[in-house]
Chains A and B, each alone.
Chain A
Amino acid sequence: MKKFIIYSLSIITLFIILTYICDFAYTLIYQKSNPRNKLQYILNMNNQNIDVVFLGSSRVANHIDSKVFDSLSGKKTINLGVLGASLNDNLLELKLLVKSNLIKNLILQLDDNYQYTNSTAIVTAGAVPFIRNKIIKEHIKNNLDNFNKLYYLPFYRYATSDHKIGFRESFFSLINKKPKMDPKIGYYPKYGSYPKQTAMLPETLVSENLVFNEIKTICRMNNINLILFVSPYSSKMRNIEYIDKLKERYPELINMSRNYKDELFYNYGHLNYKGSQVFTKDLFLSINGLLE
């Protein structure tokens, strides 16, 4: 029995050692490799002066052709919209950006993301390899219940987000494989048109969004010109009046949610390539006077 207990303990010890080694290796890979997502891209940005930063979800990433906007405005523009990101995720992006870069204009997507204050696994998964970074550590600590496990248990952070930062992603990072969606470009248009599916915006507006308030505060403290906008929805989106309520609360909101033909949409909430080209130009015309 004694031998068996020693044997079992040695397997457990081996397992723990392996988790430490794997944790160390993955972290090193993510720190040293070329960025394969937007969060990594931001972490690699240092001492840059950026005229225009777009933040939001896929409704920014799919909609704003930053190169077109750049050439129209003559201002250095980057699209940091992340598929599935919430305002809280955008807050983390902003905190990391302002730490070592100068930003003049922040153009923020505001729509039904106003309803939510939580962070999503999409961005936090990208952030956990850098959990020792002070800003990321604080952000995760404030937002995730399992912070202690993520911070102290070896490899736990990679195991719980294996779909996003598991073996496949770390292997591609190791060999510096170019990602399907290059974060430097930042604009990932959708192709085709399948606007049959319907969706619904919320009926009521939450009284306040503390995350949004924090974004506004950071902008104010860093002299960033904050511009709010709503991307278009197809006719399949119900309760579009929700946007009117939002506009009532924030009159400065550039409301472009309506008047786009369904053929310009990939689905109810996402424009296709053609739509995004039209929209990028329209948006530029709408906010040109507001840019600093």
Chain B
Amino acid sequence: MLFNSIDFVIFLPIVFLLYWFVANKNYKHQNILLLIASYIFYGNWDWRFLFLIIFSSILDFLLGIKLSKETKKSKRKTLLFISVLSNLGLLGLFKYFNFFIDNFISVFSFFGEQIEYNTLEIILPIGISFYTFQTLSYTTDVYRKKLEPTKDFIAFSVFVAFFPQLVAGPIERAKQLLPQFYKKKTFDLTKAKEGLHLIIWGMFKKIVIADSCAIYANEIFSKYENMNSLTLLLGAIYFAFQIYGDFSGYSDIAIGTSKLFGVDLMRNFKYPYFSRSIAEFWRRWHISLSTWFRDYLYIPLGGSKGSKWLNIRNVFIIFIVSGFWHGANWTFIAWGVLNAFYFTPLLLKNKNRAYLRDIEEGRLFLSFKEFYGIVITFFLTTIGWIFFRSNTITDALLYIKRLFTFNFNGSLQYLSIERYAPELMILVGGFVIIEWFIKKREHPFYGKFVGFKLTLILLGIILLGNFSNVNDFIYFQF
């Protein structure tokens, strides 16, 4: 079920009303309703894959209890190993099996060995990368004794399958989310309004910004051989805003929907394109994944402790794994490696912890250094997105090569979508201005004139939204 579908528009109010008017006696009733709703939400896409979620829930629930009872370190390690192996095993099978087989065969072919083989027709279960990481965080935290295992199977199942964030995050930690399912939620008007505002703002980002940018980006990336440098630059910028609008829009809707049920989810984006360095960008982009990797991979590897070489190794591991998490394609790995290269100089100069304070904090205007940092960071990020968006590494390299030929012949290219390439910059520019003024908040509906702001955004959705070209959320494929 897509957030931007009629199905969801019907589904959400029904679940909302049942939750607050029928299942409001105690938290158990609330949890049962949320679990049923979550399974319907997921099963609406493909009910067969519900069994995977149920399997993960049962396995990690039982392992959690077993871990709490076990005192022997070696046995505890074995239990954690079972959890990691089964969760990552399923992820590997569904997401990476064909990738590994293809590459394995390619290596053999390179050395002159011809092998007959068949890849499998495997459907990637939506959200598997997200809920797998969520359940892994649970068993790992129980193993580390940072979390008491739950004895409430329903609450745990809701934690794994909670529909607002099931298919594309934010990837929640058990420590933060699970306890919210242990107590009865009472209706909070402020929180519910906040949720509604976030949903509207998320819809605006998705339908107006992301889907508009998608039309241009798809056109430019698919015909990059015929585009001049300006159009290629615009194509990369449009994709940067497509993926941002799409994913942060999804996250806003997820967080907002969750608030309607009295549940708080973590913030996933903090205006990443206003970052002054790559390190800051990664503290603001897909925060739930970045912090997951930090806590469960980077720090266990040694983090920033030890020699510089070890630090650099850890950074590369994190970014490569992060790239690979996004999809079974070398383009994602290249994107990860590129970001590691961006990050390394900051690490070597001990500047990776710079800019912890917000922009303009304590000052009225942005300094030139900050402005320069924002522009450079955005540029580097955008170059990275070319790898992310391209079908192959060769395509990405050719795209970049053409971009840097500085060929501006026929600068304002008229595309076959019957639009001039730069036209959409008006909308993108307007969006950047709005975000700049609300950068200390999560959405624009604060302070005075909330009604007026709501009217403008709703009008924006009606007039500028893309309804004939509805796209799936990009992160559904991960």
Contacts and interface: CB of A to CB of B under 8 A. Distances in A.
B45 to A, nearest CB: 24
Contacts of A4: 187, 189, 192-193
28 contacts: A1-B20, A1-B187, A3-B189, A4-B187, A4-B189, A4-B193, A7-B193, A7-B196, A11-B196, A11-B200, A14-B454, A14-B455, A15-B458, A18-B459, A19-B462, A22-B459, A159-B465, A160-B467, A162-B467, A162-B468, A163-B215, A163-B466, A163-B469, A166-B463, A166-B464, A167-B463, A168-B419, A180-B418
A161 B468 CA distance: 6
Interface of B: 20, 187, 189, 192-193, 196, 200, 215, 414, 417-419, 423, 454-455, 458-459, 462-469
Contacts of B454: 11, 14
A7 to B, nearest CB: 6
A8 interface: yes
A265 interface: no
Contact of A155 (B417, B418, B462, B468): B462
Contacts of A166: 463-464
Interface in A78-108: none
A191 to B, nearest CB: 12
Of the listed residues B215, B462, B466, the one surrounded by the most CB atoms of chain A closer than 10 A to its CB is B462
Contacts, number: 54
A190 to B, nearest CB: 12
Nearest to B195: A4
B115 to A, nearest CB: 35
A235 to B, nearest CB: 24
Interface in A171-217: 180
- Say what secondary structure dominates the interface of chain B: helix
Contacts of B187: 1, 4
Contacts of A159: 462, 465, 467-468
Contact of A18 (B192, B423, B458, B466): B458
Contacts of B417: 163
A167 B189 contact: no
A167 B192 contact: no
Nearest to B21: A1
Given A15-B458, A159-B467, 4 more contacts: A1-B187, A1-B189, A14-B458, A180-B414
Contacts of B459: 18, 22
Contact of B464 (A161, A163, A167): A167
Contacts of B418: 180
A19 B469 CA distance: 19
Contacts of A18: 455, 458-459, 462
Nearest to B260: A4
Nearest to A169: B418
A100 B189 CA distance: 60
B123 to A, nearest CB: 30
B86 to A, nearest CB: 42
B5 to A, nearest CB: 14
A163 B214 CA distance: 13
B420 to A, nearest CB: 10
Interface in A12-64: 14-15, 18-19, 22
Contact of A162 (B20, B423, B465): B465
Contacts of A22: 459, 462-463
Contacts of B20: 1
